[in-house]
Structure 1
């Protein structure tokens, strides 16, 4: 296949992975916690995915991370995956609908801008408008019957978004391993933390997860943790950063649609209004990036 034709197909596949696969992981988690204890499921997922990615990178000749790099990756893995993804998993286990969880996590760019102030970042007027609009969206989301029925779930999903954002900003200033090796180390550390949390909290597997439970686990490991991440890295190298991060606009809609169609979830007027407001806020925040970025030169 000619390179010119293969390149667009890779782009299409990568965007599909970010938009659809990452959007579908919320429903996959919702299905998985029916047979897996929540912390154990997240811990097993990242332990397996991290092991596969770590072994692959070492096979490709990536250097063994130093102790300093392991510590940095461990802190980011704890914030993004153990607290972030683990918080989402616990929130869904507490009764938060998968689509509503995705809407709350869509607020990550808002928290990212706020935490960036700690490192001296200055936000534009448009970005401040996006932050304020996003806070309105979060308020609307909490007025919905879904989060009101589960106050603990509401707190967990907002906590997950905040820790993911804080870890994302902090990661820019830490000596992480290069390339996908950083993600592999983060997954391994997060997997260990989540499994320890599962043990301490007394989680037990009372029955076999069954075929559906193992299929969900395989989907989260292979597609949610490895394929989607690799696609994200590919897009960062071949398109503008604002385009690569545009999944923030699409994932909530995908998660809501899949939850309604396949899990019988109901999204009320407050959640629907919150989706429109939060996505509009994220678009506002992304506008300066689109304006500043130059088109990628084609070879």
Structure 2
């Protein structure tokens, strides 16, 4: 591939992980106002998983995996998608999409703390600065009276924090687990199995399913965009970038996604961006930057296998 097309492809890929992933908060917020959360997530991931396997067959990719790999994809799918995503979408019933994006951006902070607790990983001085800033940013974010006074907002915050824990532990799990070598196949199994788990959860919670033909147009478009772009295009772009640029550059999406989510939520849903939220975002994302920099956090080789970076919550 010549330099010009490759450069254009890299730019398009960054646009995908910056803007498309940043927009998923808005799209989920639109859809969950009409649809039950587990039903919404189940349809999204099951459909995306099936489409991924169809694409794999067309491309001649081998999709057979071992029993251990299948079990590990089920566990990873539960931690990242069934619980980590399903509950986060549920939380959007109670909090703004921009708020959710900011709270979930603290995931590297939680990963670092879990690495210390579970693996005895020493936290370096610059990472300690990031942890401190992250804690301050989270406090500034969740302590606003304009937010805590909203109905069930505290429940939404707690649900998002539970998702943070699930994603953080899942990040540590996949760094050590035996998973399919092909990222696309790995994702297909995670999405398909998590879609099934979410279907069971939807049934247990008594959610009422409805035909897509009865949904409003914004909900229909939101789910289509979540499946095709949020689940397939952006993830493909993410893995492509991991092969052609440094993981640290790919990780910059952690700082851009919440900003995109805040802007889109404000523009399309009239979500309020307070001065305190702006300060919280600045402090929190600065803390995430300190934690993500290679100099401040020397991640062991097992956490960077095949140039893989610790995944972030994408809802």
Normalising by structure 2, what TM-score? Answer: 0.88
1:264 equivalenced with 2:267 (yes/no): no
1:199 equivalenced with 2:203 (yes/no): yes
Q: Is the contact between residue 58 and residue 64 of structure 1 (CA under 8 Å) also seen in structure 2?
A: no
Normalising by structure 1, what TM-score? Answer: 0.92
Range with bigger deviation, 101-110 or 161-170: 161-170
Q: Is the contact between residue 291 and residue 297 of structure 2 (CA under 8 Å) also seen in structure 1?
A: no
| 1:74 paired residue number | 74
Deviations 1:135-184 (A, max 9, x none): 11111111122245311101011111221111011111111111221111
Question: Within 2, Cα distance between the matches of 1:109 and 1:292?
Answer: 13
| 2:287 paired residue number | 281
Question: Within 2, Cα distance between the matches of 1:240 and 1:291?
Answer: 15
Q: 1:292: how far off?
A: 7.9
Counterpart of 1:181 (choices 176, 182, 185) is: 185
1:153 equivalenced with 2:159 (yes/no): no
Question: Within 1, Cα distance between the matches of 2:73 and 2:165?
Answer: 18
Question: Within 1, Cα distance between the matches of 2:148 and 2:86?
Answer: 18
| Aligned-residue RMSD, C-alpha | 1.9
Question: Within 2, Cα distance between the matches of 1:250 and 1:44?
Answer: 27
Q: 1:286: how far off?
A: 2.1
| 1:165 paired residue number | 168
Q: 1:112: how far off?
A: 1.2
Where in structure 1 do 4 or more consecutive aligned residues deviate above 4 Å?
Answer: 289-293
Distance 1:62 1:206, change over 3 A: closer
| 1:87 paired residue number | 87
Q: 1:287: how far off?
A: 2.4
Deviations 1:247-272 (A, max 9, x none): 00001110000000000101223322
Q: Is the contact between residue 69 and residue 180 of structure 2 (CA under 8 Å) also seen in structure 1?
A: yes
Question: Within 2, Cα distance between the matches of 1:252 and 1:154?
Answer: 16
Question: Within 1, Cα distance between the matches of 2:85 and 2:246?
Answer: 26
Counterpart of 1:237 (choices 222, 240, 243) is: 243
Question: Within 2, Cα distance between the matches of 1:290 and 1:214?
Answer: 43
Question: Within 1, Cα distance between the matches of 2:39 and 2:75?
Answer: 20
Unaligned runs of 5+ in 2: 300-306, 308-315
Q: 1:205: how far off?
A: 3.5
1:6 equivalenced with 2:9 (yes/no): no
Q: Is the contact between residue 22 and residue 260 of structure 2 (CA under 8 Å) also seen in structure 1?
A: yes
Question: Within 2, Cα distance between the matches of 1:148 and 1:104?
Answer: 17
The size of the alignment, in residue pairs, is 292
Unaligned runs of 5+ in 1: none
Question: Within 1, Cα distance between the matches of 2:90 and 2:149?
Answer: 16
